[in-house]
Amino acid sequence: MRLQPGLLSLINSEQSALAALESNDPSIRYHAAWWLGKNRAKNSVPALIRCLHDRGEETSTGGFPLRRQAARSLGLIGDKSCIGELVKTLATSNDIQLHEASIRSLINLGSQKCVDPLINYFNSNVREKPTEALIEAFTRFQVWSVQDQIRPYFLDDSARIQGAASAYFFACTSNKDYLKKILSLLNHDNPFARQAAAFDLARVATLDEGLAIQNATLPNTIKMHAIKEILTRSMTQNCVDFRNKSESLSRQEQEWMTTLDQLVAETMSGHLLNQENPIAPSPDRSKEKNSIPFILDDAVTLLKSRSLHDREYGVKLLSDLSHQSPDIVLTLHQKETDQDVIMGLIKVMASTGCSEYATVLMEAIGLEIANHCQGNIRRVAACGLGRIGSETAEPLVCSQIVSKLTWTIVHPEDWGLRYGAAAALDQIANHEAQESLNHAYEIENDFVVKTRIGLALFRTKPAHVNHVTQGSMS
């Protein structure tokens, strides 16, 4: 099978993706390599290794996009047989971005076999090597023999490298001074330095030490992933089958799960937004012009703003209108194309519990083809369906919602979307939802999502509900 240019949508199976790797179109080959990694296609490892060493698609600046994507995909698939091939790229290519992709995949693969080659590469004369990734690898593999070489990076011009070095030495020594440095970077002016600091904490911090992540000025998606990593490390120390036993998470772990529930259900702060210079109208101005057309125009303008305050105010205006008539919001959604506005409208629909919005929220979750885009919208839609399903007096609507959530808790690659579906089914808590949760529990591989499903199942046991919900999880 040969795919023609522009037919990326035909890459929807392992067979079609492998065939697409033989295309003459670089964009199709790149997309195929991405698809195989995203879907953890284990049988594609030999083909991806060939792409990893393919020198045929070099950019004008000397880069190899296909090789980089092949490296990333091999790390996602998790087959350790490719470790040696990833290591080879450090010596057989001058593409620093390929080196970084290979190093990060080696971190994901988690084998000590790559330690000596990484040390040799770190000590080599390669210019502009990916120092941050290397230090993260040494932290992951507990390579404490390179402390003297890493120490100078405390004074590096890059805040991200400073943070990586601090995390390395904190993991090595448990000296809280290094932790303070990472915490200070959570308040850095550069948003990307703050994000890197969050992940540095996620690699080395306990629940107590990582608490600052929850209140930092970060996108929700970054908070979600960082909190998930810390929670996973904490909870795996005492793995419990929550369906069949009376043991529960510690109160602190339950509180962190509550925070994760809230982050999954929130969309407005999912982007890097300005916290200053809001344009929201004053109360006096709102009173002067309170007609529906004016309020709608005002709300749309606010939802397009880069200020979180503005967006929240826009959601409030639309929520007030939705209580007057759900059709007002539905009509606006039908004609709106701006993604920021659509995100705000989904937030409005999800927060009202109005059954008239169920169809739109189910459509917002979408199908598998949408897994790589608009994750925030779909997670919020799933949580909104949980509220509607738990409050509606219409059995057919509830059944349709549970059916959609049954798909959502199993199929999407987005762990946050599956987590949101688990929280939604937990809220609905009828027999059909319980059956969906039971099935999902058996096949879920992500530890945090599986724990959330297990908690939902355990909390449906009447004799134990009060015990397990002490953490007030939503």
Tokens linked to 2: 């040969």
Q: What is the pLDDT of residue 167?
A: 97
pLDDT at 251 over 60: yes
Distance, CA of 186 to CA of 214 (rounded, Å): 11
* pLDDT tens, residue by residue, 259-279: 999 999 886 554 444 455 555
Q: What is the pLDDT of residue 368?
A: 52
What is the mean pLDDT of the segment spanning 42-71?
Answer: 89
- Crossing angle for the helix pair 131-140 and 191-204, nearest 10 degrees? 20
pLDDT at 338 over 90: no
The model's confidence at residue 176, banded by pLDDT at 50, 70 and 90, is very high
pLDDT at 318 over 80: yes
The model's confidence at residue 468, banded by pLDDT at 50, 70 and 90, is very low
- Comparison of pLDDT for 170 and 238, the residue scoring more: 170
* pLDDT tens, residue by residue, 356-414: 999 999 999 986 544 444 678 899 999 999 999 999 989 999 999 999 999 999 988 88
The backbone torsions φ and ψ at residue 96, rounded to the nearest 5 degrees and listed phi first, read -65, -35
Q: What is the pLDDT of residue 268?
A: 55
What is the mean pLDDT of the segment spanning 308-313?
Answer: 85
Q: What is the pLDDT of residue 306?
A: 80
The model's confidence at residue 150, banded by pLDDT at 50, 70 and 90, is very high
- List all residues 6 or more positions away from 295 whose beta carbon is below 8 Å from its beta carbon: 286, 289, 317, 321
Say if CB 350 and CB 318 are below 8 A apart: no
- Comparison of pLDDT for 355 and 467, the residue scoring more: 355
pLDDT at 169 over 70: yes
* pLDDT tens, residue by residue, 190-201: 999 999 999 999
* CB neighbours of residue 454 within 10 Å: 22
Q: Which of 303, 292, 323, 310 is nearest to 377 (CA)?
A: 303
pLDDT at 469 over 70: no
**SS3 assignment, position 331:** helix
The model's confidence at residue 304, banded by pLDDT at 50, 70 and 90, is confident
Q: What is the pLDDT of residue 470?
A: 37
Q: What is the pLDDT of residue 174?
A: 93
Distance, CA of 377 to CA of 365 (rounded, Å): 8
Q: What is the pLDDT of residue 272?
A: 44
Q: Give me the percent of the chain exceeding a pLDDT of 70.
A: 86
Lowest mean pLDDT across 71-75, 168-172, 176-180, 302-306? 302-306
Q: What is the pLDDT of residue 241?
A: 56
Identity of the highest mean pLDDT range in 207-221, 285-299, 422-436: 422-436
Q: What is the pLDDT of residue 180?
A: 94
Tokens linked to 319: 């929520």
pLDDT at 242 over 70: no
Q: What is the pLDDT of residue 429?
A: 92
Q: Count helices and strands (H / E) in the chain.
A: 27, 0
Q: What is the pLDDT of residue 102?
A: 97
The model's confidence at residue 460, banded by pLDDT at 50, 70 and 90, is low
Q: What is the mean pLDDT of the chain?
A: 86
Distance, CA of 183 to CA of 174 (rounded, Å): 15
The domain ranges of the chain are 1-129, 148-217, 219-262+358-474, 279-352
pLDDT at 248 over 70: no
Q: What is the pLDDT of residue 473?
A: 43
- Comparison of pLDDT for 242 and 58, the residue scoring more: 58
Q: Which is it for the CA torsion 270, 274, 275, 280, positive or negative?
A: negative
The model's confidence at residue 7, banded by pLDDT at 50, 70 and 90, is low
Same fold, 1-129 and 219-262+358-474: yes
Q: Which residues are bridge partners to 307 per DSSP? A: 274
Q: What is the pLDDT of residue 308?
A: 79
- CATH fold of 1-129 reads Leucine-rich Repeat Variant (1.25.10)
pLDDT at 59 over 70: yes
pLDDT at 448 over 90: yes
What is the mean pLDDT of the segment spanning 310-329?
Answer: 88
Please state which CATH number belongs to domain 219-262+358-474.
1.25.10
The model's confidence at residue 79, banded by pLDDT at 50, 70 and 90, is very high
